[in-house]
Amino acid sequence: MNCEGYPLIQSKSQLAMQSEAELEFAYFLINHSVEAAFCLGANAQFIYVNNATCFMSEYSREELLSMTLSDIDLDFALHNWSEKWQTLVTSGTGNLLTFKSRYRTKGQRIFLAEVSLTYIEHQGRKFCCAFIREKGNEVVEMSVQKWTDELRDTKVHLQQEVSTLKAKEAELETSLSLLRSTLESTANGIIAVSFEGDILSVNQKFLDMWQIPESLILSKKCPRCKTFFETQLKEPEAFSRLLWEVSSESDFESYDILELKDGRFFAHYSKPQWLGEKIIGRVWSIWDITESKQTEEALRLNETRFRTLAETTDASTFLIQGTRLCYINPAVELLTGYTRKELLTSFDIRRLIKSKKRRLGSRQSEGTNFEYQEISILTKNGAERWLACAVTILNDGLDFGGKPVELISGIDITDYKHAESELIQALKQAKQLSELKARFLSMVCHQFRTPLNIVSFSNSLLKRHIDEWTEEKILPLLDHIQAGVEQISHLLDDILLFAKAESAKINFEPKPLELVQFCDGLVAQMQMSSRHNQINFVSEAQSLTACIDKKLLEPILKNLLENAIKYSLNRSAIDFTLSIENEKVIFQVKDSGIGIPVEEQQRIFEPFYRGTNIDHVPGTGLGLSIIKTLVDLHGGQVSVESEVGVGTTFTVMLPSVT
């Protein structure tokens, strides 16, 4: 206590009483203020409101404290409360933020007010104090300004709409002009009928086609108009049914043909005119088909005549389009063995026509529209038949989808072709025979000349010196003469045997024959005449008997062994084997001689043919031909394997083993 008797320090109770008094005075002050005041939290929720705020908003204090500013502020979304709150926080305590906004009372009254916000931080709490003042007079100004702006915007919008409509009107006028030009330039007559049945529009082509007088009023309601059309037609009721009586509301499309009394034909097509999902009228398109009808009638008549001719003729007649048959006559069925249904149903012509060959006729000129062909046909049973055909292309005159059709008419010349083939073969054989004869004569002259020269020369020496020479000098000449005579005799035997084989005068008479013994004897005989080449005979069986013609088997084996000896110039051994396989007797002769070129191995069995590498080895070229003929008589086979400079192996296989 100081000297004057006053306390220096106030007690806590005294301070509390003073704070309560201040709060009471502040409460009376804020709630008796004529200006609305309230406190807002960070999320714009009301945390305190005074009486003036309740009066202005028409809400109770309890109602407001459960609401946020956005519940009464019409422009709350425009203010961006989060941004304003951040601005208040950044500015700090004591700074003021003012803005205008529209508010709605509980009774739905809207008023303009100015709000001033101050940011407060107290005892760790963050909030703002707001004071709101109504600006009622400015609402009218804002409304008038808003209406003015809206009227201005509406005027601009209307001006844009008018410009757009004018552009569309101009575009529509252009489209209508193009449509009119199109309708007037089309080759079809066009007529449009309204929903009520009135004829709205026709083009000039429609008027010209029907030859409508200018005085005639085109309308379904005009009896004179209907009478005019009916008098033009052969069947007036058809016109009434198809055009006049058809409702413009009908949703079907139609197509039909009208025949006029003057011989003309009009095709008509009609369809409903839709606007969205509603029919607003009907449009008819009519065109003149008189010429096509006349062509159709002429084609029908020609088709009848063609069918009558084609069905009664013996010549085979085809109509072909690509790889498909369009028509055949009965003669084709008889020729091919196929039925009409088979040939005209998905049948590929390439299965029928095997080949075509063009033939130039003596009277065929370049101006003709057809050509002669020889066509090979493969029938259903696989036989080949030949046709002599006249072929032409039909590009017009017949309706086949606009694609060309090939007309073929032919007669069977199969017998003629066979006779022709036989004649060609006979001529070929005659030519070959002539060549063989010439070659034969040349060969005979050449082969006989050498031994004859030896005989003649030796005989001449003997005549001249027989009285002077001793027996020692004479014997070699006699041996030469004997060898020449034997060579000539051998040649004559080959020629005679070949002639008999060619003329089929050799009889095949198989009899049981012991083959091992037979081959041993043949080898011994051959070995005596050829001491320079060893013949090695090997048999897989000690004894083997088969039904074989001995007189034919001997020249077969003898010729094979002689050829092996003749062409083994190096005097090498000859291998001769006998074996059995699959009830066939197999003879094989193998040498190490000059061999046969590969390209000549197929011809060595031809008469008089000799290899190109034989040099001066004598021979007639008949041996292998004789072997082939005699083996064929047995029903056997002969084959050859050879390599030039290595050797040759001949194999003969004969049947009938017992």
Going from N- to C-terminal start, the domains of the chain cover 22-134, 144-181, 186-288, 305-412, 419-503, 506-654
List pLDDT tens digits, range 328-338: 888 889 889 99
Higher local confidence (pLDDT), 264 or 483: 264
Sequence-distant (≥ 6) Cβ neighbours of residue 151 within 8 angstroms: none
| Contact between residue 58 and residue 105 where contact means Cβ atoms under 8 Å apart | yes
How long, in residues, is the chain?
Answer: 658
CB 43, CB 135: distance < 8 Å: no
> Averaged over 315-330, what is the pLDDT?
86
Specify the pLDDT at position 299: 63
Q: Which of 195-209, 261-275, 490-504 has the highest mean pLDDT?
A: 261-275
Per-residue pLDDT band at 3 (split at 50, 70, 90): very low
78-112 pLDDT per residue, tens: 778 888 888 888 887 777 888 888 889 999 888 88
pLDDT of residue 578: 93
The whole-chain average pLDDT of the chain stands at 79
Q: Going by CATH, does the domain composed of 186-288 fall within 3.30.1240.10?
A: no
Question: What is the pLDDT, as a whole number, of residue 589?
Answer: 95
- Fold match between domain 22-134 and domain 305-412: yes
User: Nearest 5°: phi and psi at 275?
Assistant: -125, 100
For residues 183-190, average pLDDT: 77
Decide if 194 contacts 281 (C-beta within 8 A): yes
At the fourth CATH level, which superfamily is domain 22-134? PAS domain (3.30.450.20)
Q: Look at 180-194, 456-470, 514-528 and tell me which has the smallest mean pLDDT.
A: 180-194
Phi, psi of 481 (to 5 degrees): -65, -45
Start-to-end CA distance of the chain, whole Å, equals 169
pLDDT tens readout for residues 397-441: 454 566 788 888 888 888 888 888 888 887 777 776 666 666 666
| pLDDT at site 503 | 52
Note the pLDDT of residue 248.
57
- 186 has a pLDDT exceeding 80: no
- As a CATH number, domain 506-654 is 3.30.565.10
Residue in the structure block whose two tokens are 């001529």: 427
- Residue ranges with strand state E in 361-510: 370-378, 384-394, 405-412
When pLDDT is averaged across residues 605-623 and rounded to a whole number, the result is 75
Q: Which of 351-365, 524-538, 608-622, 638-652 has the highest mean pLDDT?
A: 638-652
Looking at the chain, the whole-number percentage of residues with pLDDT higher than 90 is 12
Flag whether the pTM goes above 0.75.
Answer: no
Query: Using an 8 Å Cβ cutoff, are 406 and 391 in contact?
Result: yes
Fold classification of 419-503 is Helix Hairpins (1.10.287)
CA distance 116 to 35: 12
165: tokens are 């409509």
pLDDT at residue 338, as a whole number:
92
Would you list the DSSP string of 71-126? GTBTTHHHH-HHHHHHHHHHH-TT-EEEEEEEEE-TT--EEEEEEEEEEEEETTEE
Name the token pair of 651.
């194999």
Structure tokens at 273: 């005119």
Q: Which CATH number fits domain 305-412: 3.40.50.300, 3.30.980.10, 3.30.450.20, 3.40.50.620?
A: 3.30.450.20
Can you give the pLDDT at residue 156? 81
pLDDT of residue 6: 39
Question: Which of the two residues, 568 and 249, has the higher pLDDT score?
Answer: 568
| Residues paired with 319 in a beta bridge | 327, 407
Q: Which among 164, 13, 38, 223 has a CA at the least distance from the CA of 113?
A: 38
Sheet holding 637-643, edge to edge: 535-539, 574-581, 584-591, 647-654, 637-643
